[in-house]
Amino acid sequence: MIIKEYTEILESTIAGTYLTLRLNAPKIAASALPGQFVNIRTGDGFDPLLRRPFGVYDRSGDTISVMVLLRGRGTRALAEKNAGDTISVLGPLGNPFPAPHPGKPPLLIAGGVGAAPFLYFARGLSKPKMILGARDRLLLPPLESFMSACELMISTDDGSKGSRGTVIDVLKQFDLSAHTVYACGPKGMFAALSEYFSAQPVSPLAYFSLETYMGCGFGACKGCSVPAPDGGLKLCCTDGPTFLWSEVML
């Protein structure tokens, strides 16, 4: 069931270009699962008109958190809110992450803010390995929570934190056939992963959690469609946001 809840901001923390909001959202928190997202009215009134989607970053008791990369009008409007303010949140939306295949431990791959949905997921797993990449150290999300929940391997394109190179360079150490892979990040990362997966002798069991532009968040506007290899379209909000890597064309 999709719930619209007027939630109080309990904490608002800005670190570099990242904002973390902890919201009192008892109804949504009661049913939100890892991999699902919420659609937030970011400004006051109807400006911006469209809500903005954010993965459930964490959940504890009656609260949920979101981690937001400050990009444009909507996210900057959110950054201007203070603890005690109320925001309208719709959720939980989309499908949860599929469970890891038995005998194939999860391997998480995140590009920048793509790490956001993995914290809550990782808390329910036993310290999964996570490869986290960004162009440089300033674009990495706050690391503390991830370090406690995951075995973190960091890469930056310029080598300013972790190993120099992309997530693919780190991924090359792994036997993909031994893992259930989950990836979330920018389009370029998905394109590089698709190319790498296509070159494997056996197609890996890998999921992509997509970030598209969205309108409604629940299947009504068709604004989030993604092309599929069979010529059809998938809706990121209701068919996803997580898809088998071979189910979508990016």
Q: Which residues would be at the binding site for ligand FES (CB under 6 A)? A: 214-217, 219-224, 235, 237
Residue 250 burial (C-beta neighbours within 10 Å; 0-12, 13-18, 19+): middle
By a kind-dependent CB cut-off of 5 to 8 A, residue 215 interacts, out of ligand FAD, ligand FES, none, with ligand FES
By a kind-dependent CB cut-off of 5 to 8 A, residue 72 interacts, out of ligand FAD, ligand FES, none, with ligand FAD
Q: Cis peptide leading into 48, omega within 30 of 0?
A: yes
* Closest by Cα among 50, 38, 42 to 94: 38
The nearest distance, CB 27 to ligand FES, in angstroms, is 21
**Continuous segment of H or E residues that includes residue 195:** helix 187-198
The nearest distance, CB 243 to ligand FES, in angstroms, is 14
Residue 219 binding ligand FAD, by CB under 6 A: no
Interface residues for ligand FAD in 105-124 (CB under 6 A)? 113, 116
Residue 113 in tokens: 């803010």
Spell out a b/e string for 115-136, using b for 16 or more CB atoms within 10 Å of the CB, else e: bbbbbbbbbebeebbbbbbbee
By a kind-dependent CB cut-off of 5 to 8 A, residue 113 interacts, out of ligand FES, ligand FAD, none, with ligand FAD
Question: How far apart are the C-alpha atoms of 250 and 245, rounded to whole Å?
Answer: 9
By a kind-dependent CB cut-off of 5 to 8 A, residue 216 interacts, out of ligand FES, ligand FAD, none, with ligand FES
Which residues contact ligand FAD (rule: CB under 6 A)?
A: 37, 48, 52-55, 66-69, 71-75, 113, 116, 211-214, 236, 241
